[in-house]
A = this chain, B = another copy of it.
């Protein structure tokens, strides 16, 4: 059957995540997470965004670029089920899927012109690695897209939220404007699987920092914060 399609990024998104570790399971969970959509030169056409400012939310169709070259598997283990139960890939939003396309609803924060970048879009709640290719930007149309009575199968709610404890001397190392976003991310349990080992130290990169933490039951404690070798901070 024909219908193979060659798609090109219309933009890339800048985020505070150097790797996928720590990224919330779904878009919108960490509202304070900012991302900046930078269009590719061929798509830096202001009139292509005309009218977008009237919408509060956007859809992004993007590529799980870290997986490029990986194959899909018919079943995956969703983190929200503890990483131990297999579900069909089409019943999940897992990255390891045919065609490797992601779908995220993000909040539209602002649209602005930036020197050398054209018109960029600042969004909230972005759950993507820095540099992720964006294949489409669409408006969120509430009457068609919002279905409050929809039933969410094995993902009926946002899941548990952890209490986040950051010692004051470590919190000072976090730029002020990144603190609430980091707390959001940590509260949504960035561990890939639930392992009930309170001694185990996890690490994640965020906004140019390397953040280490432990989890004991429902409490997440940050144990160390260092400046990361690789810089990536959403300006």
With beta carbons under 8 angstroms apart, the residue of B1, B137, B153 that contacts A52 is B153
A9-23 to B contact mask, C-beta < 8 Å, 1/0: 110100000000000
**How far is B7's CA from A68's CA once the two chains are assembled, in angstroms?**
12
Say yes or no: A29-B144 contact (C-beta < 8 A), given A51-B91, A61-B103.
Answer: yes
Is B91 a contact of A52 with CB atoms below 8 Å? yes
Task: Report the interface size class on chain A.
Answer: 35 or more
Is B142 a contact of A147 with CB atoms below 8 Å? yes
- Chain B residues lying within 8 Å of A91, measured Cβ to Cβ, are 49-52, 54-55, 139
Task: State whether the Cβ of A168 lies closer than 8 Å to any Cβ in chain B.
Answer: no
- Chain B residues lying within 8 Å of A48, measured Cβ to Cβ, are 74-75, 88-90
Say yes or no: A103-B4 contact (C-beta < 8 A), given A141-B26, A142-B148, A155-B143.
Answer: no
Taking the closest CB of chain B, its distance from the CB of A232, in whole angstroms, is 16
**How far is B45's CA from A91's CA once the two chains are assembled, in angstroms?**
13
**How far is B145's CA from A75's CA once the two chains are assembled, in angstroms?**
23
**How far is B93's CA from A138's CA once the two chains are assembled, in angstroms?**
6
A51-69 to B contact mask, C-beta < 8 Å, 1/0: 1111111010101010010
Is A56 a contact of B7 with CB atoms below 8 Å? no
Is B52 a contact of A88 with CB atoms below 8 Å? yes
Is B1 a contact of A51 with CB atoms below 8 Å? no
Nearest 5 CB-CB pairs, A to B? Answer: A54-B153, A51-B91, A3-B133, A50-B88, A26-B144
